[in-house]
C-alpha cells in the first residue's frame, strides 16, 4: 500500500511541473501563495505593507518595470531586511510574485498621507524631540534607529504604529536592555549587542555600556521600546499627519 502511494506521487510530481510556459493566466494566483509564505510577514498578507513597504502603490523605489521588481526580489536590498530570494525561490516563482504584486497594485494614490512635510520636519526637530534619539542624514542622534530611509523601508501603517504605540513592533536590534550591577545599580538602555555572555547598550543620554554576564547580578533584554509612548497625547491629529508626511518623505536623499 505505502509503496504504491509513494510511486504514485513520484509519477505525478514531474507531470505537475511541466505547466506550459506560455500560459500565464494563473501566475498572479500562484504568486499570491508564494507571497503569503515568504513575503507577508513583512509586506502584509495583502501586500499593503507592515514592517516592509506597501507594495500596492503601483510605484517603487526599485523602478517600475517588471524587471526592476524581479531584480529587487532576486537580489534583495543589501544592508536592509529585504533579503535576496534568488537561491530560495525559482526565477519562475519570482515572475509569478511580480505578477501578483502587479495584480494588487492600484494607481490611485488614496493611501498617501495628507500632511505638511515642512511642518512635520519642524515638529520632528522641535516639539517632538525626535532628533534626541533619531538621525536623518547627518543630523540628530543615533540612540534609536536611523530614519534616513524610513519612508522607503516602512509602510505608512507601520510608521503610524511606531509613533503612537512604540511597543507594538519593536525594531529588530533595538530592544530594551536592563542590567543590575554588583553594587545594586540598575542601568537601562537600547540594545547594541546582546548574547548569553555579554550586553552592550546605549542609555538615553547616549552613554555606551558594555558588561560581561559574570560581572553583574542580572542582565535581560525585553521586546519593549524606550521611545516615549505619549506622542498620541502630546501631538494632535494634524501634527501626527504632518509628522507622518515628513517620515514618508525620508527616502535616503537627505
Ligand atoms: C524581513 C522582512 C521582509 C521580507 C520577508 C520581504 N521583504 Fe521585501 N522589503 C523589505 C524592506 C524593509 C524593503 C525596503 C528596502 C529598502 O530600504 O529599500 C523591501 C523592499 C521590497 C521591494 C522593493 C519596493 C520598492 O519600492 O522598491 C519589493 C518589490 C519587495 N520588497 C518584495 C518582496 C517579496 C516579493 C518578498 C517575498 C519573496 C519580500 N519582499 C520579502 C522587507 C522584507
Ligand atoms: C528617547 C528616545 C526616542 C525618542 C525621543 C523618539 N524615539 Fe523613535 N524610537 C526610539 C527607539 C529606541 C526605537 C526602536 C524601538 C522601537 O521600535 O520602538 C524607535 C523607533 C522608531 C521608529 C521605527 C523605526 C523603524 O525603522 O522600525 C520610528 C518611525 C520612530 N521611532 C519615530 C520617532 C519619531 C517621529 C519621534 C518623535 C515624535 C521619535 N521616534 C522619538 C527612541 C526614541
CATH number at residue 233: 1.10.760.10
Q: Does residue 129 lie in a domain region?
A: yes
Which contacts qualify for 162-168: CB closer than 8 Å, 24 or more apart? 162/227, 163/231, 163/240, 163/243, 163/244, 163/247, 164/231, 164/232, 164/240, 165/229, 165/232, 166/225, 166/227, 166/228, 166/229, 167/223, 167/224, 167/225, 167/229
Q: Does residue 8 lie in a domain region?
A: no
Q: Does residue 112 lie in a domain region?
A: no
Q: Does residue 5 lie in a domain region?
A: no
**Taking 50 as the threshold, does the pLDDT of residue 10 lie above it?**
no
Number of domains in the chain: 3
* 52 Cα–ligand 1 center, Å: 6
Distance in angstroms (rounded) separating the CA atoms of residues 199 and 146: 21
183 and 236 fall within a common domain: no
Average pLDDT of the residues in 224-241: 96
- In this structure, the residue with its CA closest to atom 40 of ligand 2 is 130
87 and 206 fall within a common domain: no
Give the rounded distance of the alpha carbon of 184 from its chain centre: 37
Q: 190 CB under 6 A from ligand 2? A: yes
Q: Which residues contact 38 (CB under 8 A, 6 or more apart)?
A: 85, 88, 89
* 228 Cα–ligand 2 center, Å: 8
22 and 61 fall within a common domain: yes
Contact 94, 137 (CB under 8 A): no
142 and 242 fall within a common domain: yes
The pLDDT tens digits of the residues spanning 196-207 come to 999 999 999 999
Average pLDDT of the residues in 165-173: 90
Question: Quick one: pLDDT at residue 175?
Answer: 97
Burial of 8: CB neighbours in 10 Å, binned 0-12, 13-18, 19+: exposed
Question: Quick one: pLDDT at residue 118?
Answer: 97
121 and 244 fall within a common domain: yes
**Taking 60 as the threshold, does the pLDDT of residue 42 lie above it?**
yes
**Angle at 242 (CA atoms; ends 238, 245), nearest 5 degrees:** 140
Q: pLDDT confidence of 28, banded at 50, 70, 90?
A: confident
Give the rounded distance of the alpha carbon of 178 from its chain centre: 25
Q: Which ligand number lies closest to the CA of residue 251?
A: 1
Q: pLDDT confidence of 252, banded at 50, 70, 90?
A: confident
Candidate of 48, 49, 52, 145 to mutate for ligand 1, largest count of ligand atoms within 8 Å of Cβ:
52
Whose CA is closest to 212, among 200, 223, 227, 197?
197
141 and 199 fall within a common domain: no
Q: Does residue 64 lie in a domain region?
A: yes
Whose CA is closest to 179, among 167, 191, 169, 171?
191
Return the percentage of the chain with pLDDT > 70, whole number: 87
Residue tagged 524610513 (cell numbers): 150
Neighbours of 127 (CB within 10 A): 13
* 245 Cα–ligand 1 center, Å: 21
Residue 243's SS3 state is helix
Query: Which ligand 2 atom lies nearest to the CA of residue 51?
Result: 27
Question: Quick one: pLDDT at residue 11?
Answer: 41
Q: pLDDT confidence of 7, banded at 50, 70, 90?
A: very low
Query: Which ligand 2 atom lies nearest to the CA of residue 123?
Result: 38
162 and 241 fall within a common domain: yes
Relative orientation angle of helices 237-249 and 117-125, to the nearest 10 degrees: 100
**Taking 70 as the threshold, does the pLDDT of residue 182 lie above it?**
yes
Average pLDDT of the residues in 76-80: 93
Q: Which residues contact 41 (CB under 8 A, 6 or more apart)?
A: 50, 51
160 and 125 fall within a common domain: yes
128 and 145 fall within a common domain: yes
79 and 39 fall within a common domain: yes
Q: 38 CB under 6 A from ligand 1? A: yes
Which domain range does residue 183 map to?
A: 176-222
215 and 139 fall within a common domain: no
Amino acid at each position: 500500500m505505502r509503496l504504491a502511494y509513494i510511486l504514485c506521487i513520484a509519477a505525478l510530481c514531474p507531470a505537475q511541473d511541466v505547466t506550459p510556459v506560455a500560459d500565464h493566466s494563473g501566475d498572479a494566483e500562484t504568486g499570491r501563495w508564494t507571497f503569503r509564505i515568504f513575503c507577508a510577514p513583512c509586506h502584509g498578507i495583502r501586500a499593503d505593507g507592515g514592517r516592509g513597504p506597501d507594495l500596492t502603490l503601483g510605484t517603487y523605489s526599485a523602478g517600475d518595470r517588471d524587471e526592476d521588481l524581479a531584480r529587487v526580489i532576486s537580489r534583495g536590498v543589501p544592508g536592509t531586511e529585504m533579503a535576496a530570494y534568488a537561491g530560495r525561490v525559482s526565477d519562475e516563482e519570482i515572475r509569478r510574485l511580480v505578477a501578483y504584486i502587479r495584480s494588487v497594485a492600484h494607481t490611485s494614490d488614496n493611501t498617501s498621507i495628507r500632511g505638511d512635510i515642512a511642518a512635520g520636519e519642524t515638529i520632528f526637530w522641535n516639539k517632538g524631540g525626535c532628533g534626541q534619539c533619531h538621525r536623518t542624514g547627518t543630523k540628530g542622534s543615533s540612540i534609536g534607529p536611523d530614519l534616513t530611509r524610513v519612508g522607503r523601508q516602512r509602510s505608512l501603517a507601520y510608521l503610524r504604529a511606531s509613533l503612537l504605540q512604540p511597543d507594538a513592533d519593536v525594531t529588530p536590534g533595538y530592544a530594551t536592555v536592563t542590567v543590575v550591577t554588583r553594587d545594586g545599580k540598575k542601568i537601562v538602555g537600547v540594545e547594541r549587542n546582546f548574547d548569553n555572555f555579554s550586553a552592550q547598550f546605549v542609555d538615553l543620554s547616549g552613554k555606551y555600556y558594555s558588561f560581561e554576564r559574570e560581572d553583574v547580578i542580572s542582565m535581560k533584554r525585553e521586546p519593549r521600546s524606550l521611545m516615549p509612548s505619549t506622542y498620541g497625547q502630546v501631538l494632535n491629529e494634524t501634527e501626527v499627519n504632518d509628522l507622518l508626511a515628513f517620515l514618508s518623505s525620508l527616502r535616503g536623499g537627505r
